[in-house]
Amino acid sequence: MKKLEKISVIIPIRTKGSAKLAIEALRQVDYPQELIEVFLVEGNQPARQRNEAAKEAQGDIVYFLDDDSKVEKDLFLKIIEIYENDKSIIAVGGPMLMEESSQAFWPKVFKNIFSSFFGVLGKRARYHPVGSLRQASEDEIILCNFSIKREIFIKENGFNEQLYPNEENELFGRLRKNNFKILYAPQAKVYRLSKASLIDFLKSIFNYGKGRA
């Protein structure tokens, strides 16, 4: 068996916030717990929180996760295998699948919208496993399920702390400009509860759009 690499999981949380869902899932992964370190970084500037944690991390790979997202049990084994198979790869990301928090109407609608090409066009790959392992564009990578070699992340100065949300898009642009190899892995999945109301959904869309602008 190949030697497994140490992974530093970075989870930004609001002041006095909780990452209970994320932590519970991390405790169940099929990966040696001694090779996983977890950073819960409190604050109100997620890009800065992620950068600060990455500077302190000891892992060969830093993995960014949101406080309300749950990794699949074999996710780390899958992404480490990808890195091992091609040493030129510097980052791997996968989709975030929505779970329905209830049988209510709106959660079902939001799940169907984000998993449909007609709902989000090319960004569908962020919310639904699409195709096979391949080099990725910013439309296919989502920050709540994204890993990168720590050495490269630090060398490239991490995230732009003036941006939130969508700070990952600016980073991907810089990495691609420098010809770094980033892969989209549809088999590497995390899960998140769907928004419970139309108001919450519209707020999320507004924030994403503001970040892009």
Which range, of 93-97, 98-102, 190-194, averages the lowest pLDDT?
Answer: 98-102
pLDDT score of 119: 43
Q: By CB neighbour count within 10 A (0-12 exposed, 13-18 middle, 19+ buried), where does 177 fall?
A: exposed
Do residues 8 and 50 touch, judged by C-beta distance below 8 A?
A: no
Distance (Å) of CA 93 to CA 16, 69, 178: 28, 14, 18
pLDDT score of 136: 87
In this predicted structure, the answer to whether residue 9 has a pLDDT above a threshold of 90 is yes
Could you read off the pLDDT of 140-177 as tens digits, one per residue?
889 999 999 999 999 999 999 988 767 888 998 899 89
Q: By CB neighbour count within 10 A (0-12 exposed, 13-18 middle, 19+ buried), where does 88 fall?
A: exposed
Residue 148, helix vs strand vs coil: strand
Q: 100 versus 163: which is more confidently predicted?
A: 163
Do residues 41 and 13 touch, judged by C-beta distance below 8 A?
A: yes
In this predicted structure, the answer to whether residue 67 has a pLDDT above a threshold of 80 is yes
Residue 104 pLDDT level (bands cut at 50, 70, 90): low
Q: Which residues contact 17 (CB under 8 A, 6 or more apart)?
A: 42, 67
In this predicted structure, the answer to whether residue 182 has a pLDDT above a threshold of 90 is yes
Please tell me the distance from the alpha carbon of residue 138 to that of residue 141, in angstroms, as a whole number.
5
The 3-state DSSP composition of the chain as helix, strand, coil percent (nearest 5) reads 40, 20, 40
Please tell me the distance from the alpha carbon of residue 52 to that of residue 154, in angstroms, as a whole number.
10
pLDDT score of 117: 46
pLDDT score of 205: 46
Which range, of 122-136, 157-171, 198-212, averages the lowest pLDDT?
Answer: 198-212
